Structure 1
Amino acid sequence: MPEAIDTRHGVILYLEDVSVSFSGYKALNGLSLAVDRGELRCLIGPNGAGKTTLMDVITGKTKPDKGSVYLGQDINLLDSDEATIARLGIGRKFQKPSVFPQQTVRENLALAVRGNRSPWDALRYRQSSEDADRIASLLLTVALDAVAHKLAGGLSHGQKQWLEIGMLLAQEPSLLLIDEPVAGMTQHETERTSELLQSLVPERSVVVVEHDMAFVRSIARKVTVLHEGTVLIEGSIDEVQSDPSVREVYLGEAC
């Protein structure tokens, strides 16, 4: 049995002894992981290490064969479906940005803010001054205030990524799961994304899956390395990069 995770001191998410199999292949193999409130965690590992399956388990897309998955100390995520988990405050951003291309940047954010309401309330929705202020604040947070009037389809790749992060923030999540945010970005966009993600904590927790080690170094407080469906090592970026087992299974491939 893996060592028990101490959840008494501000842990927002923990998984214990989680296993997932697909046709006999163990995508996750007794994985245990804890993320603190207000933490920015980077999750790395070679292809097939279990990163996507881990995200799928947290968000309810995949149910594990065994194990425990909790939000805070008392919310069992395995009892909830994807929609319920999103309402509980877990937001997920996939690698490819998903925005409404024929709507302006501001309208995309307005739709996300409106999404907090029940279907009946949404039908009767009229933007309040409070919502207008919220949208203005989100535009500043994701550095898109200067292009608020532009159609989202005309944004650069990096701007679309920031817009989607803004749309997730409109839902006021306590935990954000972000998959390869800088893939395909220019150097300037990558630097801006680093600043954005760091600005999101400690008001919320952020877990970033990324292969770009220079980017990981720019944002990482703590790094978790996955290998063959379990945690290989956790620590600072320097500790991770200097570990011989990590260099063998992952960093040696990327460097």
Structure 2
Amino acid sequence: MSEPQELSALARGWWWARDYVYAGVRQLAIVVEGWMPPARWRSGRGDLPEVLLLPGIYEHWSFLRPLGDALNGAGYRVRVVHGMGTNRRGIADTARRLGRAIERRRAPDAGRVIVAHSKGGLVAKQLLVSGADAAGDPDGATPAANGANGVLGVLGLVAVATPFAGSRMARLILDPSVRALLPSDETIVMLGRAASVNARIVSVFGRYDPHIPDGSMLDGATNIRVPVAGHFRILGAVETHRAVLEGVGHLRDQAG
């Protein structure tokens, strides 16, 4: 897997603009598409894991609607994790909230896979790390479905455009919740060192991400680069949908 592609300043500006146009469209789409997830998402094949969607910072769940539609179209039951607000809390705190939200419903026999965007991927990795620690599994090889967090049933994580090593672009934003994504942040450093669960993570990323210029490669994980540019636009790309489906299938087979 090659390093993030170097682009000219003009090209970077072009992709920045297109990325934010897409984000704006997705924000407004909720007015037309509705506030609640589609009822059809709750139906799917019982032999496939349930998919939990976890958006990034400042994002509503509807940002992930294109992914949810693709997953449900492939037979997966898709659910949205509620109660996360705008995902501006600390990663550890949000991971605890995520765990409490998931455990309210019994885990299906086929388990669950989290599909997350951006900061959502960091929160989900924190949950995996906490589950492995609670299960007394220093190698992180035992899925949470079989450990002390068995009630969660989480087989693994497919993360799209997640800054696993942080993002130097966070220094440009004064909001503390964004600056917490700096590479030097204590939680980012800790998660970077927690490589034991990386085998249960699939990282999907594009050829250029203006928010994560250093890329989303994660050592020990399954890394899939798609021929799409952008931090937000990547969510609507067919190539991304295929990669996410591949990633969920990989985690299912791995846990099987």
Structure 1 length as normaliser, TM-score? 0.30
Q: Which has the larger radius of gyration?
A: 1
**Structure that is richer in helix per residue:** 2
**Structure that is richer in strand per residue:** 1
Structure 2 length as normaliser, TM-score? 0.30
